[in-house]
Structure 1
Amino acid sequence: MPAQTGHQGMFPGGQAFLLCMLIWLCGSLAQAAEPVPPAAEGMSVAANDAEAAADGTDLPDPTPAATVALATIAPGEIYWERFGHNMLLVTPPGRETLSFNFGYFDFEQPGFIRRFILGRMLYQALAFAAEDDLAAYVSDDRGIVVQDLALTPRQADDLLRSLVDAVRPENRDYLYEYFRANCSTRVRDAIDSALGGGLRRQTSGRSRGFTYRMHAARLAKDDAWLALSIDLGLGPDTDRRLSLWEEMFIPGMLQRYLRDVVNSEGEPLVTNERVLHPGRGNAPAELPPDRRTSMAVTGLSVAVLLLWLSSRARARRGAARALEFTAFLLHLLFGVAGAVLLFLWLGTDHVAAHRNENLMLLNPLSLALAALWLLGPRATKSGNTLAWLVGLSAMCGLAVKVVPDTFIQQNLHWCLLFIPIHVSLLVAWRRSTVTR
């Protein structure tokens, strides 16, 4: 079978998430260009019987006495491992335990790079010998917790039948979306189906007030560049308050909320929870970081530098050149970032990146201003118009927050970073063109 590597949700590199965003997107594409070894998020099946199971050719006939458990894998160090992983472990009577894993993709699938960029990634549901599948996570020293599920014989039978059907070659591919259709949501949906919709009924009407953005930020917290890149690329769709049902796109949340779920007989669904492998023991943060102060200080510091350079540009040629280069570089970065955000919205199926209000802060028109600064600022009507349009666009990014029901994106921290810089760039442009 083709070489495969596993991958979990979101962001975060589908995925997951994410999947979307600027520096993170560029890094993801670099990874995609050079396939990761199969052990990255799972492993190739070594034993002949498990190899056949992965191909869907030697799966057991469903039986009503199968036992079912959920295995939850702790987050790892690599960016696509940040959100954790999970799988269903099913043991038919008299057979070895199989893992049903929805977190694999194939680098050799037709149009892989194009699908990745456009948000049309195909993931696969595969069956493995559980011992071999779990060994890969143990070798990476990632924690593994197993929860035994109290299903009736009929429910276990129905679940096994649906899983066997899901991993057949003609059914195994599914369209991946980092928040709503990932490895964890497929596992959640399979359990819910076995319970006759009981899991959804018990969790869809309750909320802790978390959002997709908050989960992405807290799980990527230890990697600042990854966290900022994902956050910058996420649009307002990710700022809606989630129900517990929706939060279970995170494997750790599915594990947590199953503890309070009851089965069809009113008994706890989880009968036993055990640590299969303790792993590193570094639990992810419970809350996302608050970056407003640090980003405001950074924005004001850059603004002060620009204003200082512009005040000295008339008297010192070195200051003028430093100002022109700094303004060129900033507008180039803003313009490229804005062009990427615009493409993610209008040219891809990355729904989480659509209607991104950061486009007001990162206007693609900045590319034209970058060219004008590179050539040397001149007091032209078109140049002045561009400078004012870009500056006012950034200010509108904050002003629209007075309409909270329409502009709901939680990007105040980005406003605090970019608006002082844009205001100082506008002032610097005016000073430079007047000077000349």
Structure 2
Amino acid sequence: MNKRVLLLLILIVFSKVFYAQAKLSVYSEVSIVTAGSGSELYEAFGHSAIRVKDPLLKLDIIYNYGIFDFNAPNFYSNFAQGKMYYKLERYPFKYFLRSYQLEKRWVKQQVLNLNQAEKQAFFMYLENNALPKNATYLYDPFFNNCATILRDITTSILKDKVNFNTASLENGKTLRELMNAEITHNTWGNFGINLIAGTILDKKRTPLEYMYLPDYVFKNFKNATIEIEGAQKPFVKKEETLLNYKEIKSKTSFLNPILVFSAFAILVFFITYKDIKKKKEPKV
């Protein structure tokens, strides 16, 4: 085996062992990271991930639950129906940020208001989740994705200490309403998901269920409080814009659904009209 490859493998294994046993310092931070939408359909909703940073340990890791193989057969239909396995990957945050910088997508960070024990609990939970035996999960676009997992991890660790105050968010919206607000109307992506997902999109939901969308993860964490010494304090200690780009909107192509189906309807009408007219013509 090449010595450089062997050394790299040793470093990766060592780093995982080191991180798994590391005790975070008082300077550590746990953050919710939200990214804006991209130009591809699977990027249209944006993205959510968790960052753990500790300058004393020289640790700055992103835990990304959105890793998948977009070259897999029937990717888009499986994506819309939730028939895919996703994977958690942990890697240096600088590479995560660089990828969004190249795509010119905005990135915001919400540093959570946690005590030392809570930060360590998040870190150990994520490290355990990143183990090969735990990293893969069955993806669902509405109920088990990169965004909902952050909500579920938070409530699993903090229990009832955290309160997602949803009063400021309108209750009873459907997943279809929320999705249509994210993906531009009259695009093939919007049409395809509306068609494939079916009636599951039409049930009214609570603001906590809106958190399948990264934007609502951001909003719910922003409004949340955490119990500290018997008092309710803001759950987000600090909010930062790491990359400041304009939101990317999906574009309507010339051959959009309305145009295509309108043309098809006109063609059917014309053929039907000609057929009826032909039958009514007197025979000589």
- Name the counterpart of 1:68: 30
SS in 1 for 2:227: coil
Matched to 1:86, the amino acid is: S
- Name the counterpart of 1:150: 113
Consecutive aligned runs of 4 or more in structure 1 exceeding 6 Å deviation: 293-300
Rounded to whole Å, the distance in 2 between the matches of 1:72 and 1:313 is 62
Matched to 1:279, the amino acid is: Y
- Displacement of 1:259: 1.2
- Name the counterpart of 2:276: 311
SS in 2 for 1:256: helix
| Count of aligned residue pairs for this structure pair | 258
Percent of pairs with identical residues: 20
Residue among 211, 236, 256 paired with 1:270: 236
- Name the counterpart of 1:427: none
Matched to 1:212, the amino acid is: L
- Name the counterpart of 2:188: 225
Rounded to whole Å, the distance in 1 between the matches of 2:38 and 2:176 is 19
Rounded to whole Å, the distance in 2 between the matches of 1:229 and 1:107 is 17
SS in 2 for 1:168: coil
1:117-170 CA-partner distances (Å, limit 9, x unpaired): 585421111111001111101111011011111012111111111001000111
- Displacement of 1:61: 2.7
- Name the counterpart of 1:289: none
- Name the counterpart of 2:213: 250
Distance 1:269 1:224, change over 3 A: same
Distance 1:204 1:306, change over 3 A: farther
List gaps (5 residues or longer) in structure 1: 1-47, 285-292, 317-434
Instruction: Name whichever structure is richer in helix by fraction.
Output: 1
Rounded to whole Å, the distance in 2 between the matches of 1:78 and 1:216 is 15
- Displacement of 1:94: 2.2
Matched to 2:279, the amino acid is: R
Matched to 2:21, the amino acid is: D
Determine whether 1:140 maps to 2:100.
Answer: no
- Name the counterpart of 2:246: 280
- Please say if residues 53 and 59 of structure 1, whose CA atoms lie closer than 8 Å, have aligned partners that are also in contact: no
Rounded to whole Å, the distance in 2 between the matches of 1:147 and 1:201 is 15
Matched to 1:81, the amino acid is: E
Distance 1:283 1:225, change over 3 A: closer
| Greater RCO, 1 or 2 (C-alpha within 8 Å, sep 6+) | 2
- Displacement of 1:222: 5.7
- Please say if residues 260 and 268 of structure 1, whose CA atoms lie closer than 8 Å, have aligned partners that are also in contact: yes
Residue among 57, 65, 77 paired with 2:39: 77
- Name the counterpart of 1:381: none
Rounded to whole Å, the distance in 1 between the matches of 2:16 and 2:267 is 58
Rounded to whole Å, the distance in 1 between the matches of 2:237 and 2:113 is 6
- Name the counterpart of 2:224: 261
Rounded to whole Å, the distance in 1 between the matches of 2:74 and 2:197 is 20
Rounded to whole Å, the distance in 2 between the matches of 1:230 and 1:306 is 31
Distance 1:54 1:250, change over 3 A: farther
Determine whether 1:59 maps to 2:59.
Answer: no
- Displacement of 1:311: 2.1
Comparing 205-214 with 237-246, which one deviates more in the overlay? Answer: 205-214
Alignment of 1:152-301 (within 5 A): 152-199=115-162, 202-203=165-166, 207-221=170-184, 224-265=187-228, 266-282=232-248
List gaps (5 residues or longer) in structure 2: 1-7, 251-257
SS in 2 for 1:170: coil
- Please say if residues 200 and 245 of structure 1, whose CA atoms lie closer than 8 Å, have aligned partners that are also in contact: no
- Displacement of 1:231: 0.9
- Displacement of 1:174: 0.7
- Please say if residues 55 and 126 of structure 1, whose CA atoms lie closer than 8 Å, have aligned partners that are also in contact: no
Instruction: Name whichever structure is richer in strand by fraction.
Output: 2
Alignment of 1:2-41 (within 5 A): none
Rounded to whole Å, the distance in 2 between the matches of 1:256 and 1:277 is 18
TM-score (norm: length of structure 2): 0.77
SS in 1 for 2:226: coil
Matched to 2:277, the amino acid is: R
Matched to 2:270, the amino acid is: L
Residue among 46, 53, 58 paired with 1:91: 53
- Please say if residues 67 and 87 of structure 2, whose CA atoms lie closer than 8 Å, have aligned partners that are also in contact: yes
Distance 1:56 1:183, change over 3 A: farther
SS in 2 for 1:174: strand
Rounded to whole Å, the distance in 2 between the matches of 1:139 and 1:277 is 11
- Please say if residues 88 and 101 of structure 1, whose CA atoms lie closer than 8 Å, have aligned partners that are also in contact: yes
- Please say if residues 162 and 235 of structure 2, whose CA atoms lie closer than 8 Å, have aligned partners that are also in contact: no
- Displacement of 1:295: 11
Alignment of 1:337-416 (within 5 A): none
- Name the counterpart of 2:92: 129
Larger Rg computed on CA atoms: 1
